[in-house]
Amino acid sequence: MPLVIAMDGPSGTGKSSASKGVARALGLRYLDTGAMYRAMTWWMLRNGVPVEDAAAVAARVDDPVIESGTDPVTPTIAVDGEDVSGPIRSREVTNAVSAVSAVPEVRARMVALQREIIGDGGIVAEGRDIGTVVVPDARLKVYLTASEEVRAARRARDLAADPGASVAVVRSEQARRDRLDSTRKASPLTRADDAHEIDSTELTLDEVIEAIVRLAKELQ
Ligand SMILES: Nc1ncnc2c1ncn2[C@@H]1O[C@H](COP(=O)(O)OP(=O)(O)O)[C@@H](O)[C@H]1O
Ligand SMILES: Nc1ccn([C@@H]2O[C@H](COP(=O)(O)OP(=O)(O)O)[C@@H](O)[C@H]2O)c(=O)n1
């Protein structure tokens, strides 16, 4: 089977940036599964579905048409034909996504869609449950970590245009999301036993990419 690289870890560890870089370096496709859960959450909010009500979310789970592009140079995400790559990164969506992604019916639909896109492989897929649930037999699994402080500082820089997003606020919202993602019943965030753990706290993005490319080349 062509290579599948599974990249998991908490938010702000550099999964998206490193996955795109590795995919470019190795000529692979790229799938951001977090963007798919964000797209589902954006649609629920837009349609007035109370996101804390799991039954209400489950009832609408099949309605949005979610399309993910897999080019690592220009990743795209659309809902019902509308480009949502900007709005899915808002703090409103970010703070609602853990409730939506904890709903088993949401996960069942997303995992089926993700497996369809991953197909025969040749892809770097990133998220929370890629190595444990989506592709448990992936040839290479990476679990990215970084200190809470560094992760919050990175994410606050991404959100510099949002005046409410100080490092302290981002840090506490991020800690809440990580707690919800790691303690939910349906496929919680956890490191697969056979994943290589990389702590990016003191590494540059290029160093993280190089480490993963090296691991991939060792497989050949
Ligand atoms: N090793 C690193 N050193 C410094 N900044 C990084 C590193 N990896 C990622 N970043 C930056 O941190 C932010 C969050 O990275 P991202 O890839 O979105 O993380 P994740 O997908 O895990 O949430 C981005 O602005 C990215 O450029
Ligand atoms: N495979 C995945 C990917 C994301 N998610 C959910 O989607 C949210 C957003 O994921 P993301 O990867 O965009 O988040 P960041 O790491 O970019 O902050 C997470 O907080 C999880 O609740 C998930 O449950 N399973």
State yes or no: pLDDT of 167 exceeds 80: yes
Mean pLDDT over each residue of the chain, to the nearest integer: 96
Question: Which protein residue's CA is at the shortest distance from atom 7 of ligand 2?
Answer: 34
Contact residues of ligand 1, CB 6 A cut-off: 11-17, 154-155, 157-158, 200, 203-205, 208
User: pLDDT tens digits for 126-147?
Assistant: 999 999 999 999 999 999 999 9
Amino acid at 195: A
C-alpha–C-alpha distance, residues 118 and 68, integer Å: 11
Atom of ligand 2 nearest to the CA of 155: 18
CA of 174 to the centre of ligand 1 (A): 14
Atom of ligand 1 nearest to the CA of 144: 22
The confidence score (pLDDT) of residue 74 equals: 97
pTM above 0.80, yes or no: yes
The confidence score (pLDDT) of residue 42 equals: 98
The confidence score (pLDDT) of residue 165 equals: 85
User: pLDDT tens digits for 97-123?
Assistant: 999 999 999 999 999 999 999 999 999
CA of 34 to the centre of ligand 2 (A): 4
CA of 126 to the centre of ligand 1 (A): 13
The confidence score (pLDDT) of residue 163 equals: 87
CA-to-CA dists, residue 167 to 93, 96, 144, angstroms: 18, 19, 21
Give the percent of the chain with pLDDT over 70: 100
The confidence score (pLDDT) of residue 164 equals: 86
State yes or no: pLDDT of 76 exceeds 90: yes
Which domains, and CATH codes, for the chain?
4-209 (3.40.50.300)
User: pLDDT tens digits for 37-68?
Assistant: 999 999 999 999 999 999 999 999 999 999 99
Q: With a threshold of 0.95, tell me whether the complex ipTM lies above it.
A: yes
User: pLDDT tens digits for 1-37?
Assistant: 689 999 999 999 999 999 999 999 999 999 999 999 9
Atom of ligand 2 nearest to the CA of 15: 16
C-alpha–C-alpha distance, residues 42 and 82, integer Å: 12
CA-to-CA dists, residue 201 to 3, 16, 207, angstroms: 27, 15, 11
The confidence score (pLDDT) of residue 196 equals: 98
> What HEC string does 176-189 produce?
HHHHHHHHCCCCCC
Our mutation pick for probing the ligand 2 site, out of 36, 52, 89, 97, counting the most ligand atoms within 8 A of Cβ, is 97
